[in-house]
Amino acid sequence: MAELKFIEGYPEYMYELIKVVEQTRAKRKDYTPKAMTMEEREDVLKVHPDYAEGGKRAINIGVNKGDIAPNEVADLLEAYPLIEEGEIDLRKPDYTTDILIIGGGLAGTTAAIWANDQGVPKENILLVNKLRHGDANSIMAQGGTQAADRENDSPVIHFIDALGGGHFTNKPDVLQTLVEDAPLIIDWLIDLGAMFDREENGDFVEIWGGGTCRKRMHACRDYTGLEELRVIRDEFKSREIPSLEYEPVIELLTDSDRVTGALLWNFETGEYKIVEATATIIATGGFGRLHIRGFPTTNHYGATCDGVVIAYRAGARLRDTDTVQYHPTGAAYPQQIIGLLLTEKLRSMGAQPVNKDGEAFVFPLEPRDVEASAFIRECYVRDKGVVTPTGMRGVWLDTPLIDIKNGKGTVDKAFPGMKRMFARFGIDMAKYPVLVFPTLHYQNGGVETDPWGKTNLEGLWVAGEVSGGVHGKNRLMGNSTLDCIVFGRKAGISTAEYVKSGKKRGKLTLEHMKKYVKLLKEAGIPKERKAPILLPDYRGKRVLARMIDVF
């Protein structure tokens, strides 16, 4: 069977185009395009997926009725549950626990350990996972975690950076907790044995993150999330705290305005299970796999907004649902890795965005939304993008400049993960540029909380990407791994106190669901629309067209 001819990992025609980039490289080496003026920014932002017309609408049902959200999210909020009333026998819980934690990324796993530290016995905690424990956005974080622990820095400066980055919409008291607790978190991670990048004398190597005025990014090569999560997960497992895998939560259980447990569904056998819990923490992460506006994503397979959907149905209040974060540099080629993240650090270290004609067309470190818009404009308005064999367009990120500017071997040392990813498909990013296009990256908004992760519903806490408020309408790099660990810890402590205060367990009902279904019917929502979706579906069209249900 025939295949395309490749040179250095690129089809012949793209390889020819790379020569154009190489020809202008010497000239570009000491040249950086000017940063845009405020007017220029405003103009280019018109082609940004988060600002361009048509992507959003008002939520029609529930606590946040009237608020704006991406169409894909609004659709899921206005969707029928996966189960019908009467189908479920709530009389005999399969698990009875003090603290139920839903989702084992950085946030959920951290919560379990801290609840245990506060004296909740391990057997009274239960962590449930949709996939394996750790198959999560957390494990993919590359760039680092912010914490103001150097002499010339302070939590106050960190606060101001994050507030400005969030367009001044962050919830201030929650943000204070984030930045004040940050040094404690790094200290805790060292206790657990996390291997941050260090200088000879033990000091942290701290680097820039977009939008900060101090270097306060703590990284573990370009595997920061992997290192943080596997250390925390190892501690969790060493304590033998119970956990379940492949048993997603599909609905919460309530006793009027109080969350009292959850309904699990065994992915493999189809059986449902009832969990009765005194306190529940939702830590289910983000929504990249909704492919908002048809964009590819950096997120893991299970990032489908489940936590927001089930919390909302139970009456939890959301905030900042109207903004979505796209990352300017997702991979656009090769097809196998489309959408996957190329960290911002590549540009911090000298890689330059370049168009089809070999021109550096944009300042490399504009804010994420401006940078992304400039790429989209280059490809779709000015027609200066490179078209891939699958019909995608992208611009070059001239990565060989990194070694030229910082010395040979820098790419190998600073970006081993990234380099490995491209090498697997025959591309040496230290020698040849790579093709990039914006990708869906982060859920800015979510369930509103107080500084302890508590929601407006009794018995319900949230932590991590599923929550909203701490980052306002835009999150800075390095603040979300931090967010997860800070508020995972807070939620763990807070739920432990709640439990220890002698709180009785509530009744187990699906009354909230019944009420919500009534609203859905009144609003005439199509019956087929169901949520949470649990996993995306990428099966080939031909197979789907021939699939029949006989067994």
Partner 1 sequence: MKKQKSIMEIIAEANKAVTTGIDEKDIEYWVMIYIMGRAYKVPAGLTIMQAMEYAGYRFIRSAGCRAGFCGACATVFRKIGDYKLQTAMACQTKVEDGMYLVQIPFTPAEKAAYNIGKEPYDVSVLFKYYPELARCLSCNTCTKACPQDLEVMDYVQAAIKGDFTAVAEGSFECIQCGLCAIRCPAEIVQYNMAQLARRMFGRYGSKRPESLSKRVKEVKEGKYEKDFRKLLSATMEEFKKLYADREREKD
Ligand X SMILES: Cc1cc2nc3c(=O)[nH]c(=O)nc-3n(C[C@H](O)[C@H](O)[C@H](O)COP(=O)(O)OP(=O)(O)OC[C@H]3O[C@@H](n4cnc5c(N)ncnc54)[C@H](O)[C@@H]3O)c2cc1C
**Binding to partner 1 (CB under 8 A): which residues in 382-441?**
389-393, 416-417, 420-421, 424-425
- Selected from 42, 119, 271, 335, the binder of partner 1 by CB under 8 A is 335
Distance CA 184, CA 353 (A): 37
| Contact indicator for 301, 130 with CB cutoff of 8 Å | no
Q: 397 by DSSP, 3-state: which?
A: strand
- Selected from 62, 134, 453, 532, the binder of partner 1 by CB under 8 A is 134
The entry of partner 1, ligand X, none near residue 532 (CB within 5 to 8 angstroms by kind) is: ligand X
Nearer to ligand X, 20 or 82 (CB): 82
143 binds ligand X per the rule CB under 6 A: yes
The entry of ligand X, partner 1, none near residue 102 (CB within 5 to 8 angstroms by kind) is: ligand X
Compute the least distance from the CB of residue 384 to ligand X, in Å: 27
Question: Which residues form the catalytic set?
Answer: 327, 347
* Contact set for partner 1, span 29-68 (CB under 8 A): 47, 49, 52-55
| Contact indicator for 138, 228 with CB cutoff of 8 Å | yes
Compute the least distance from the CB of residue 32 to ligand X, in Å: 24
Distances (CA, A) of 156 to 166, 172, 176, 185, 473: 15, 12, 8, 17, 20
Compute the least distance from the CB of residue 514 to partner 1, in Å: 30
- Interface segment toward partner 1; rule CB under 8 A; list 18-26, 176-184, 276-284, 482-490: 176-184
Distance CA 102, CA 453 (A): 14
Length of the chain: 551
529 binds partner 1 per the rule CB under 8 A: no
Unique residue bearing structure tokens 């504009």? 366
Distance CA 404, CA 470 (A): 39
298 binds partner 1 per the rule CB under 8 A: yes
**Which tokens is 394 given?**
């992208």
* Contact set for ligand X, span 474-493 (CB under 6 A): 477-482, 484
What's the angle, vertex CA 529, arms to CA 526 and CA 535, rounded to 5? 175
242 binds partner 1 per the rule CB under 8 A: no
* Contact set for ligand X, span 332-371 (CB under 6 A): 341
The residues that bridge with 458 in the sheet, in sequence order, are: 258
Unique residue bearing structure tokens 């491209």? 422
194 binds partner 1 per the rule CB under 8 A: yes
| Contact indicator for 397, 438 with CB cutoff of 8 Å | no
- Interface segment toward ligand X; rule CB under 6 A; list 16-24, 80-88, 103-111, 193-201: 103-111
Alpha helices in 11-60 (DSSP H): 12-28, 38-44
Compute the least distance from the CB of residue 245 to partner 1, in Å: 9
Which parts of 233-385 are beta strand (E)?
243-244, 249-255, 258-265, 272-282, 318-319, 324-331, 352-354
Compute the least distance from the CB of residue 244 to ligand X, in Å: 9
Q: Which helix (H) or strand (E) segment is 35 a member of?
A: none
Residues that bind ligand X (CB under 6 A): 102-108, 128-131, 135-138, 140-145, 224-225, 248-249, 283-286, 298-299, 302-303, 306-307, 341, 442, 464-466, 477-482, 484, 532
